[in-house]
Structure 1
């Protein structure tokens, strides 16, 4: 999903938004996924303004946002950031102030018992140029992640979200970029979980056909890859409409990916999903989250899209309305059990 002012057709147009040691969940049924949380927007806003003015064009989530969601039982935040703000020049040093903002958020969330998914919200691009092109070679993508791993890779409360919804020309080309990032991360000695997205808007429904063969070839010496997908439940799966499909159709959009995970003995993460406040749409959250819970041997967790005060009255938001929980939060609460898988 894009943040306000993005290039995705038909979507909101973005400027581009466990206190125990983390491990992939063991096999077998679980009452809840290891990771249960929400996307917090703000740090990737105003992507057309680079680097942008902190506190004006973009900002990071505030402690009160973390406090509200951890009090509800959530333990994971997907934090969207922009590559260009973290690393102003390819293969150059990370921006110290921007890195410090990321680290401060991670530390606060960790103090509340929560994990942070660091999401590079760039759609497979750097300053508009495709990763894997002459302008942005795969090695440059690896360099970014090597530097982030060096800065954050001793903290097991950080998951590395390699890229939001990469728009590469082929899954094979994207596979090469992902492998470069995996190799660079592991070369630093980092053992953090790596979230691998696919092309085609990272659709769960289309993953097996579009990405399965290529991304199934990835190699991680730590065997700690988790495949990230996104899925929306409006009629065209764009995440832009208040209408929604039936409950059977909603679960059906996840099933082929669940089957792929089982066949490949892999793990998955639903990094984005959302529904409007219409009662029939809110009702979809129960079967969708039940499907993830019932397949917790392969589904490691999820983060709902989205929250944060900058969203205002956005139809998907989980941000409380004058202190009152949104209908979507009421539907999600039964799946926020504190019991571990």
Structure 2
């Protein structure tokens, strides 16, 4: 399932595991700042982001912490009382808010320690966890974190580090948890988080130490799919160390090989995958007995980068393991016998280790978008407009002449549709990218829904123009590329009862074979397009200069029950903004059976035989009832010296004004600003 790009699950974000606030046994009285954990300098977080020396450009940080350090007693308060606990909470929240301020998504993950096994385990104070106590902890932690961050939804919750059974561990004293036991705890935590009013993304790890390779074979996939969340805001999180300590570690494709089955399952299940930990060796400081070479690591990581690009509809990012403040971690290029922690910097970003050099070129990612309007930032849900059918990124020319101005085309004759795709990511879109453009048409109306008529179930009302059109590369960050897509057989207006040549185009950036409407909810096409930056539509009728007829406003009821609709009309200036006043009036020339229904409605006055005029176009028509499947066509004319562009907007009266269900925009050829592209505003 696709999410808006500014959602945690909506785009690929890469970064690091930020460690050392996770610790072994918490001392009596709470962890001591500077003794049990470090205080992280701003220059380190700047280096993660973009402002430090040799910045990494990270957009995601997984922050590890210890449960007992924020909740000192089971079912107790969060944060725990006491000076040291208060300091720890302040410092933990401080790391979170400072990362958020630098534009990074933060994944909070409790890393638990078992003193008996001297390793991470599924324990609290050295004892097995229970569903009730786990639910209590997560409800309180989520609520406290949201209170501290202003309910910033860029904070995600990774429920616990590396669930596993005791049989999967070779460590004496390990406790672990069963498959059923873990997913019972996970569901309890999800339910508690939601019941406490917290909407954050929850990342649920699988078993076998959260192994990516084992997720589809150890029972985790089926158990994860059975989890319930009223907000549908769950992701899978896995760890991938197959390039270090598994058969095939020396293979250049070991990382994609470990994750391929999981990604295929997730795509079919509509799930998103977060690779919460990943690392490979790049020298003899690596994990014994396998110490990879730098050349092998470079090949492995290049294949991983391509795998993530090819699957960025499923893989929402990775976090390298790991990094910490200077002096707090046996890390990086250390020759210590157990120096296999693959750190990125030993001195808060002043210098980089071989691992930072290894991953630096892959941290930033491209992201291709289509704009709804000139002000659309392309970063997620577009709140700059309520209108989703005036995209400047789609236009039509009669011939493939490269023109950047929309023009009237002759119905029934081949023409060319131009689609502009912009890279709003932070890395160049490469030739190896796998995104494609799909293009559809529909007979225009103010009540279009989805997936029909775009799918062609009724060939007279819509269908596909082109599918899986490759996107030219490279496309630098902030730059655009334009696709010229032939439309061999556009519909002929003469074949329709109203003989109106007003059609709507819809383009989407997606993966080959994937539905363009992935992630859409409800029936409101307009709202869904505005939520998703990979889809745009253009429903603009350009009429040659010298005419005063806009064409026909078409209103259709896509529902299975009668639909009470309100229609508003907005005269527009050259900048697509409503005009406060305008000289002239809007006249409707409906068919006789429609005119009979309109007469007597408020805001209408007689304007001659077979014609009525709107007294105030902005007030429009209120309470027009359409039967299921009914389609009305109402020709529109302008009486006055200078006709404006005209936007017609349909509202569902049950949801009220402010939530358009669709509309049409009409442009007479002499309207300045509408037939001249303002390209500079898009790049």
TM-score (norm 1): 0.83
Which among 87, 112, 115 is matched to residue 71 of structure 2?
A: 87
What SS does the corresponding residue of 1:296 show, helix, strand or coil? coil
Relative to structure 2, which stretch is displaced further, 190-199 or 279-288? 279-288
State the Cα deviation string for residues 31-52 of structure 1 (Å, max 9, x = none): xx53210011110133364633
Distance 1:208 1:225 in 2: 17
User: What residue in structure 1 maps to residue 161 of structure 2?
Assistant: 164
Give the gaps of 5 or more residues in structure 2: 51-55, 81-85, 113-120, 165-175, 284-293, 369-683
Is the counterpart of residue 246 in structure 1 residue 277 in structure 2? no
User: What residue in structure 1 maps to residue 94 of structure 2?
Assistant: 104
Is the counterpart of residue 75 in structure 1 residue 59 in structure 2? yes
The structure with the largest alpha-carbon Rg is 2
User: What residue in structure 2 maps to residue 155 of structure 1?
Assistant: 152
**Alignment map for 1:17-166 (pairs within 5 Å):** 21-25=6-10, 34-47=12-25, 49=27, 51-71=30-50, 72-94=56-78, 95=80, 96-122=86-112, 123-131=121-129, 137-153=130-146, 154-166=151-163
Is the counterpart of residue 197 in structure 1 residue 205 in structure 2? yes
Is the counterpart of residue 336 in structure 1 residue 363 in structure 2? yes
User: What residue in structure 2 maps to residue 186 of structure 1?
Assistant: 194
Structure possessing the higher relative contact order (Cα contacts under 8 Å, 6 or more residues apart): 1
What SS does the corresponding residue of 1:247 show, helix, strand or coil? coil
Which among 274, 279, 287 is matched to residue 269 of structure 1?
A: 274
Relative distance call for 1:291 and 1:60 in structure 2 (3 A) is farther
Is the counterpart of residue 259 in structure 1 residue 272 in structure 2? no
Are the aligned partners of 1:81 and 1:121 in contact in 2 as well (CA < 8 Å)?
yes
Distance 1:35 1:337 in 2: 8
Are the aligned partners of 2:20 and 2:64 in contact in 1 as well (CA < 8 Å)?
yes
User: What residue in structure 2 maps to residue 324 of structure 1?
Assistant: 351
**Structure showing the higher helix proportion among its residues:** 1
Is the counterpart of residue 286 in structure 1 residue 308 in structure 2? no
Distance 1:338 1:205 in 2: 24
Are the aligned partners of 1:286 and 1:332 in contact in 2 as well (CA < 8 Å)?
no
After TM superposition, give the deviation of residue 284 of structure 1 in Å: 1.3
Distance 1:235 1:335 in 2: 20
User: What residue in structure 2 maps to residue 230 of structure 1?
Assistant: 239
Count of residues in Structure 1 that have an aligned counterpart in Structure 2: 306
What SS does the corresponding residue of 1:205 show, helix, strand or coil? coil
What SS does the corresponding residue of 2:49 show, helix, strand or coil? helix
After TM superposition, give the deviation of residue 111 of structure 1 in Å: 1.4
Moved over 6 A (4+): none
Relative distance call for 1:276 and 1:177 in structure 2 (3 A) is same
After TM superposition, give the deviation of residue 55 of structure 1 in Å: 1.2
Is the counterpart of residue 207 in structure 1 residue 234 in structure 2? no
Distance 1:235 1:329 in 2: 17
Are the aligned partners of 2:163 and 2:177 in contact in 1 as well (CA < 8 Å)?
no
Are the aligned partners of 1:73 and 1:338 in contact in 2 as well (CA < 8 Å)?
no
- Over the residues paired in the alignment, what is the CA RMSD in angstroms? 2.2
User: What residue in structure 1 maps to residue 181 of structure 2?
Assistant: 173
Distance 1:60 1:203 in 2: 31
After TM superposition, give the deviation of residue 204 of structure 1 in Å: 0.3
After TM superposition, give the deviation of residue 258 of structure 1 in Å: 1.0
After TM superposition, give the deviation of residue 191 of structure 1 in Å: 1.1
Is the counterpart of residue 307 in structure 1 residue 285 in structure 2? no
State the Cα deviation string for residues 87-122 of structure 1 (Å, max 9, x = none): 000110022433222211111111111121111111
TM-score (norm 2): 0.43
After TM superposition, give the deviation of residue 171 of structure 1 in Å: 1.5
